[in-house]
Chains A and B, each alone.
Chain A
């Protein structure tokens, strides 16, 4: 497939983060169109486009919007329909490997702001928040500037472009907690609490921010909305597979010649993307990679031709996640890589659910002793058993994600674990593998 810059189409311009540049490149044209439409028609348009959430789960965006209870014409609303509606942008990018939303906000923040205004109008919301990761100070800075420019130009505030529609938009900085990328933990954090996930149901569409109906969308999802409005649903569906369409930013990192952001249709394969990125560094070969960040099970060279869209990747045994393609070669130890990821989950577990809090702690201990050559034959089964006791047993997906790299590395590279065991422990498994060097050669 070819490269198809859409979300990235303005990135090469001079100071693309400035309103003047954005407006000169069709910026805020979609907002004018949208304000001339009925909000319900906007929801239908986004449904028809097939746009699915870019934050990892791939839930259909238009459907999510349609869950917001709205007052019925001619009736006095009661319950959730009577409450204010909120739109919250999840800009808390922190999944290891994921690096698409920060460059988008740093380079083209107005595309997000325009997407927020259109989406807020569609769900009849008058107060929206961009919850941006605290460490992302340069993205935060350019977002704040973009929001100020948008207010000054009449795209935000009261009576936007003379339409009678009002919207306040606040840029809110987080404070360093991966868990706040989970939508209900993000809401707790935004309400001024520790960022811990809530039990669902009720879903945020009914009881979200301040207990009121709330839509939470990812940055890339909302930045896609103005293009859907301008190009129409059929145009958007021309990118990639029918059930999972649209342009997508693929982030390549690690052992490739030219790491970076490549925007191509959904369903582009790793083989095609690796070719764009100049391949694996010379003299080395691909060993393992992640299709969508550390929470998505590893893939290997066998999976180079899997179309990278939500359904095809799921059918191949992993998840599209955030299209964070971390590439590792034969010099990289998959066991040590897995240990590092597991340390991350142990650090970031919010502590609310016992299986995740205790399980990730113990997974680190087991992996550490294996990496240090002190593992036992029983440890491999103990890892699997511990993962089984975490998966599906916590409120949110953090614990589930922590098991992905362990289960998939044991599935594809069990011998790499065995090779790290002392000879007598290998003997118990009836194996004799040479100890391979551990650590990062580069």
Chain B
């Protein structure tokens, strides 16, 4: 890393980066009483209120487009923390922006797999078109550009996201057109995702609130048409080849669907008093991330038997 995340281009690494340093722009939408009420609503979702901090940071970002000093202060006040404690958390996570963002956040995956298929070339082209580098905002305020780490869409590589909605299988030209359209104020439909809103809208969703005006718009976002070729490719190939999983044994399948819930619950409560099965002992406990001791190397694959 040549500079700390969020530091200005060319900033010397001293380990003492203290951004955000800019005073809030005069036209920044204020955090209101409504914001506080919503923050408290988030806090009520969890057994311990501090668990709400990440969603609360998404919330203040949804109002102001970044985590401003005012946003940090609001979270600190509501949770009874110091601003330093909140700042320590906010600066740890890539998605919390420390300077005002554009209307849209364009993220280009430049990790290995996307890169061999052209991710870096896309990033370089967009950087030239917008006249900005990583984590900077175009002069017209339309777009903040960033290179992203793996976006978990490698089967659609190379991928670009706008406000984290997927624009799959991009190339330099399609990505440049996408960005040009965004700058004209258009909202091209994602390959997989809801109709595009903006960075603040999506931040609101991540805080756990609807970003849509009404239930119909919300349903439309959930059910938006998508192009999910690579997701479905194995399913379609299995159909073509007439291949399927072994059938489940009839008995266990039918006994489940027939039993009314109340009856099922009766069985359950009757069995609750059953004695503890032997053999459970914490002394047996292994490291939760290791494979169990004593497991032998796997036998070579056997085809699934027909039940």
Contact = CB atoms under 8 A, between A and B. Distances in A.
Interface string B149-191: 1111111110001011110000000000000000000000010
A235 B230 CA distance: 28
A135 B151 contact: yes
* 5 tightest A-B CB contacts, nearest first: A267-B301, A36-B264, A311-B298, A260-B230, A176-B94
A35 B207 CA distance: 32
A163 B1 contact: no
Interface stretch (A91-99, A371-379, A415-423): A91-99
B215 to A, nearest CB: 11
A195 B92 contact: yes
Given A161-B261, A163-B268, A252 B155 contact: yes
Contacts of B297: 311-312, 314-315
B95 A231 contact: no
Interface string B41-72: 00001111011111101100000000000000
B261 A97 contact: no
B288 A64 contact: yes
A67 B285 CA distance: 7
Contacts of A310: 291, 298
B14 interface: no
Interface in A251-276: 251-255, 258-269, 276
Given A1-B303, A11-B235, 16 more contacts: A4-B246, A15-B223, A37-B271, A38-B272, A59-B290, A135-B107, A135-B152, A142-B222, A175-B54, A183-B288, A241-B302, A242-B299, A253-B154, A307-B301, A347-B1, A442-B116
Nearest to B166: A138
Contacts of A232: 248-249, 252
Considering residues B58, B96, B252, B307, which has the most beta carbons from chain A within 10 angstroms of its beta carbon? B252
Interface string B16-29: 00000000000000
A332 B54 contact: no
B33 interface: no
Contacts of A1: 301, 303-304
Given A183-B289, A324-B154, A231 B302 contact: no
Interface of A: 1-6, 8-9, 11-12, 15, 17-18, 26, 29-30, 32-33, 35-41, 44, 52, 57-60, 63-64, 66-67, 69-70, 72-73, 84, 93-99, 101-103, 106-107, 127, 133-138, 140-142, 144-145, 161-165, 170-178, 183, 189-195, 200, 203-206, 210, 216, 229-232, 234-235, 238-244, 247, 251-255, 258-269, 276, 294, 307, 309-312, 314-315, 324, 326, 328, 332, 337, 340-341, 344, 346-348, 350, 361, 397, 440, 442
Contacts of A95: 150
A36 B223 CA distance: 34
A307 B290 contact: no
8 contacts: A11-B231, A12-B236, A161-B265, A191-B51, A243-B296, A244-B298, A251-B155, A340-B110
A2 B303 contact: yes
A392 to B, nearest CB: 13
A12 B252 contact: no
B107 to A, nearest CB: 8
A94 B304 contact: no
Contacts of B302: 240-241, 267
Nearest to A244: B298
Interface stretch (B125-133, B137-145, B275-283): B275-283
B304 A73 contact: no
B10 interface: no
Contacts of A244: 298
A137 B295 contact: no
A183 B289 CA distance: 9
Given A98-B150, A242-B299, A69 B222 contact: no
A38 B300 contact: no
Contacts of B223: 15, 17-18
Nearest to A145: B222
Given A57-B290, A135-B164, A173-B55, A32 B301 contact: no
A387 B259 CA distance: 57
B277 A261 contact: no
Given A94-B150, A163-B264, A195-B92, A238 B304 contact: yes
A309 B276 CA distance: 33
B241 A175 contact: no
B304 A137 contact: no
Given A3-B243, A162-B261, A189-B54, A137 B163 contact: yes
Nearest to B211: A141
A6 B245 contact: yes
A203 B288 CA distance: 7
